[in-house]
Amino acid sequence: MTARILVVDDVEPNVRLLEAKLTLEYYEVLTAMDGATALEIAAAERPDIILLDVMMPGMDGFETCKRLKADPVTRHIPVVLVTALDGREDKIKGLGAGADDFVTKPIDDVILFARVKSLVRLKAVMDELREREESGRRLGVDADGAGRLRGSGGRVLIVDDNELQAEKMVTHLGGEHRPVVETDPAAALIAGRGPIDLMIVNVSSSGFDGLRFVAQARSSEASRRTPILAVVDPADRPRLLKALELGVNDILPRPVDSEELMARARTQIRRKRYADFLKEKLDYSLEMAVTDALTGLHNRRYMAGQLQAMVGRAAQGGDPVAVLVMDIDHFKVVNDSFGHDAGDEVLREFAVRLATNVRAIDLPCRFGGEEFVVVMPGATLEAASRVADRIRRDIEAQPFPIMGGAEGLTITVSIGVAASIAGDTPEALLKRGDEGVYEAKSQGRNQVISRAA
């Protein structure tokens, strides 16, 4: 997977060396010699990764990273701090500024490329979610779920049979998060199917194969997107690289430093919640794309797609399909006499009564205005007619409350019923149902008319 990488360093030989190494690996490379230029290029070019030197005159790497993460345009770009400093304080400071990872000079090429590939995979997923969410927003579909982004604390599953190390992590995480320890990897995989915000896995465990656990977690649909923080001895390069290759999100070196643990856990949980937030908005957008906003029933677009598939299966010898086409009687009078708000109340109550009188497998839909359609897979004309009459009787049985319940209106409905026949099309089926509605209205309304062909 290729990517566009912005390299930021005030020392030109360092820039050129990194540029050459990355270019050989088929990455597209952008360069900047100071923090201010890096901010401009990042905002204009939107690279996939930023490799940012810490020690620069003027605006150092920490401040540059902080500004990148504060800008909505660039905050989603992963930042890897490149530093000659391997001190604990600098790591904590960098993570606090929003850095996603660190590499130290002299740069280990294998480690660098492994970390870059891991972050590129992560950014590709996040970008896809953000693009789909933005598409929904442009269509006017939005969901309010930002409250979770501001929440503190997370559910952390620690998979470790090193009792002393696990207890230490629980102690440090317990003040902010809700950590639990699982020493058995099989039990941990089951626990990981639950609502977990972060897994911390000791991949250097002597009691179980931590790398195999990571692979199993990543192959499970339930835990595939759960961030994993791998605890590993930094001197064990093969294990560290394999963990990154298998898809862990971050590395926590042994012995575990409490402040670094807290900073890395906080970063991963914050990122997980943002991904969840985007996914929830995407799911909401997809739902709203096929849902009528006023009644909560499926809309005409969804109905058309489902009916097309069912009629096609029926034409090939599959189960038949029936439709109920219905039109609320004298609905224009409701709007003219009581206003459109009262009309909306009637439509919402009609949708409730409709949905409660059809089978679980049926698809009640709002076709448009005061017209509704129910698609009934596997139903014969006779069975559909019985359901239609049940709906008709329930609609007229009780007055519809309007004006907040201050008034009640007697509402009736005319229904046309049609069932699929050989050579049918969705349009022909709906047309027969619509002809039934027209006939019902011409005969005095509040009737069910079945059209066999």
Instruction: Please give the positions annotated as active site.
Output: 370
Angle between helices 61-70 and 88-96 (to 10 degrees): 20
**CA-based radius of gyration for the chain:** 30
What's the CA gap between 197 and 223, in Å, rounded? 10
What's the CA gap between 257 and 255, in Å, rounded? 6
Among left, alpha and beta (phi > 0; psi -120 to 50; other), residue 288 is alpha
What's the CA gap between 188 and 169, in Å, rounded? 17
Q: In whole angstroms, how far apart are CA 347 and each of 156, 324, 328, 413, 444? A: 46, 17, 9, 12, 21
- Report the first-to-last Cα separation within the chain, whole angstroms: 57
List the structure tokens of 20: 């050459």
| Residue 324, SS3 per DSSP | strand
What's the CA gap between 366 and 347, in Å, rounded? 9
Q: In whole angstroms, how far apart are CA 152 and each of 32, 99, 265, 273, 279? A: 36, 19, 12, 10, 19
Question: What DSSP state is assigned to residue 78?
Answer: -
Burial state string for 372-391 with b = 16 or more CB within 10 A and e = fewer than 16 = bbbbbbebebebbbebbeeb
Among left, alpha and beta (phi > 0; psi -120 to 50; other), residue 46 is left
**Hunting for tokens 């923090």 — which residue is that?**
35
